[in-house]
Amino acid sequence: MSERLLKGIGVSAGIAVGPAVVVRWTLPEVPHRVVPRSQVEKEVRRLRAAVKDVKRHIAELKAKAEDRAGVDEARIFDAHLLMLEDKEFLASVAALIRENHLTAEKAFEFKALEVRDAWAATGSPRLMHRGADELWEAITQPSVVVAKELGPGLTVQLDREHVVGLVSEEGTRTSHAAILAHSIGIPAVFGVAGAMQRIEPGTTVVMDGTRGTVLLNPTAPEIAEAKARERRRRELASQLEEVVEQPAVTTDGVRIVLRGNVDLPDEIRAAQQHRAEGVGLLRTEFLITSHTALPTEDEQADYYRRVGEAFAGEPVVIRTYDLGGDKLPGPFRVQAEGNPQLGWRAIRVCLDRPEIFRTQIRAALRAAAHADIQLMIPLVTRLDEIDRTREMVSEEATNLKREGVEAAATVPVGVMVETPAAAVMADRLAAVSDFLSVGTNDLTQYTLVVDRGNARLADRFNAHDPSVVRLLKMVVDAARAAGKPASVCGEMASEPLSAFLLVGLGYDTLSVAPPALPLVKWTVRQVAAARARVAAEQALAARTAAEVLDLLRLTLAEAVDLKLLDPDARLPAGRRAASLNV
């Protein structure tokens, strides 16, 4: 059993059974080898023979695809053939073999990489993602996609009918592809070491996005058991659906506002169905990353207005572009940086490219004429970033008025607290802004100096670390002292255990991934805020993240059946727990 069971990080709940489609975005590693001068011409002949072979193979695949999927679909193979029929390209490979005495495969790799870089330099995500397009089109039955790494740009394009699960070697719960998979509701297990090697294409797998496991070649009883587990999970989910009509109030009467995080337009519905009280985090970079051109002011204004209308009477918090880091640049030409997470990201990009930022601000002001639109600034580290943003908001409001365009006179501007600098300066930032909202994904990354997308460090990425808990406390206290609202919109708010801690720390507004809204609401309704406050006090005094987690589990187990929150959680014995009879 054990060699059939791969362990990773469950990043999106749900169980999927299906054949594995193993995708390789990168070329296989080709050893660097030179040949003696006397064998150079032999390598050129090997190159020609290999090209002929591959062409025949692709032509066969194309014919098969024509039969099974149709002539248009089969055209995806033309791109490969085009390259292999490109005489100039092949001549350049042969020249490289002759000049540097390289093996045919190494010379081919060098030239292919040149072509890829030339494509990338066009900045066209369409070209860069051509591999992805081909993949989605090539999947013809419900499959589990296995990849070394999945970026947000690719995940956005997933066809949910055909992709029933995702397995990736890289990535963690807070990498953007994981956040998207969760929001979209595709089961996913990331951080599965050796997945590419150990999962043969076509192998049937059972993947469990709650437990973080991938079982290879399951037996019939194992498949039946997995399906039964998935049925139970769905039953539980539908039981939870009923709770969404009830208010999020703790047993001692503290009202918690639960908003939704919306990354893609089609999540609006899920957030509405789960009765999100507005949108606490409208990520906007996805308007860009899967497109070839920046969205116009009109397109953005329409989108923001549409979201505003969907949550009429409730706030919609637009997070201004957070480009850079692990978010793909799309039409943006961004130079590679040695340390992108510490580089040109988010508000830095917006302030350096005011024409892009101003367009977004104008669109928000226009939508704000019809809805409660607010702006939230990501990755703030300095007060002047807010000052400058506010100036731009007021300048654009003046411009719109002068132009006679219907728009609000201003919009609230909030700070996304996701750097230690912002947390430490929270009192000052609260004074110059309208609200604070904590992005715990980045706050954890920058506080613990742990790359949020690095699977090897996943054990060390812990939002319960006492250092992060203390910063969270500083922020909520600073906001309260300044009389400004404070909320949490990082993934932490979507986990029941953490939501309990956040309520205890004093946060009364949480913005949650739409699929997690019912469970978080159910949890809030089972617990007493007073009890959460005691747990939070203990967490602030704890020495380690493990201590914090233990004490949260113990306290929460007094009120709820922890098995409902985490099927593999070990329960402290003999405690009374609420089960789901909502």
Q: Which residues bind ligand PEP (CB under 6 A)?
A: 179, 281, 283, 322, 418, 439-442, 489-490
Q: 408 with 432: CB under 8 angstroms?
A: no
Beta carbon of residue 443, minimum distance to ligand PEP (angstroms, whole number): 7
Asked if residue 439 binds Mg ion (CB under 5 A), the reply is yes
- Biggest alpha carbon–alpha carbon distance for the chain: 86
Q: Which one of the listed residues 129, 176, 182, 274 is annotated catalytic?
A: 176
Asked if residue 465 binds Mg ion (CB under 5 A), the reply is no
| 490 binding partner (options ligand PEP, Mg ion, none; Cβ < 5 to 8 Å by kind) | ligand PEP
Whose Cβ is closer to Mg ion: residue 132's or residue 181's? 181
The Cβ of residue 328 has, within 10 Å, a number of other Cβ atoms equal to 23
Q: How far apart are CA 444 and CA 457, in angstroms?
A: 12
Beta carbon of residue 390, minimum distance to ligand PEP (angstroms, whole number): 21
For residue 185, give Cα distances in angstroms to 165, 240, 270, 425, 453: 10, 16, 10, 36, 20
| 283 binding partner (options Mg ion, ligand PEP, none; Cβ < 5 to 8 Å by kind) | ligand PEP
Q: Which one of the listed residues 129, 350, 464, 489 is annotated catalytic?
A: 489
Q: Which residue stretch of 114-122, 396-404, 410-418, 502-510 sits at the interface with Mg ion (rule: CB under 5 A)?
A: 410-418
Whose Cβ is closer to ligand PEP: residue 109's or residue 442's? 442
Whose Cβ is closer to ligand PEP: residue 180's or residue 196's? 180
Q: How far apart are CA 253 and CA 279, in angstroms?
A: 23
Q: How far apart are CA 254 and CA 537, in angstroms?
A: 18
Beta carbon of residue 436, minimum distance to ligand PEP (angstroms, whole number): 13
Whose Cβ is closer to ligand PEP: residue 361's or residue 489's? 489
Q: How far apart are CA 464 and CA 501, in angstroms?
A: 9
- Residue 403 identity (one-letter amino acid): E
Is residue 489 among the annotated active site residues? yes
Asked if residue 442 binds Mg ion (CB under 5 A), the reply is yes
Burial zone of 113 (CB within 10 Å; 0-12 exposed, 13-18 middle, 19+ buried): exposed
- Residue 398 identity (one-letter amino acid): T
Whose Cβ is closer to ligand PEP: residue 374's or residue 555's? 374
| 489 binding partner (options Mg ion, ligand PEP, none; Cβ < 5 to 8 Å by kind) | ligand PEP
Beta carbon of residue 581, minimum distance to ligand PEP (angstroms, whole number): 33
The first and second tokens of residue 190, run together, are: 């990331």
Beta carbon of residue 261, minimum distance to ligand PEP (angstroms, whole number): 7
**Bridge partners of residue 165, in order along the sequence:** 144
Backbone φ and ψ of 208, nearest 5°: -120, 105
- Residue 95 identity (one-letter amino acid): A
| 440 binding partner (options ligand PEP, Mg ion, none; Cβ < 5 to 8 Å by kind) | ligand PEP
Whose Cβ is closer to Mg ion: residue 263's or residue 442's? 442
Whose Cβ is closer to ligand PEP: residue 274's or residue 327's? 327
Beta carbon of residue 514, minimum distance to ligand PEP (angstroms, whole number): 14
Q: How far apart are CA 190 and CA 371, in angstroms?
A: 38
**Total interface residues for Mg ion by CB under 5 A:** 3
Q: How far apart are CA 497 and CA 324, in angstroms?
A: 31
Which 511-570 residues touch Mg ion, going by CB under 5 A? none
Beta carbon of residue 418, minimum distance to Mg ion (angstroms, whole number): 5
Beta carbon of residue 175, minimum distance to ligand PEP (angstroms, whole number): 9
Whose Cβ is closer to Mg ion: residue 18's or residue 439's? 439
The DSSP call for residue 163 is E
Output the DSSP codes for 249-290.
B-TT--B-EEEEEESSTTHHHHHHHTT-SSEEEEE-THHHHT
Backbone φ and ψ of 222, nearest 5°: -65, -40
Q: How far apart are CA 502 and CA 512, in angstroms?
A: 12
Backbone φ and ψ of 320, nearest 5°: -60, 160
Instruction: Please report, as ranges, the residues that interact with Mg ion according to CB under 5 A.
Output: 418, 439, 442
Q: Which residues are catalytic?
A: 176, 489
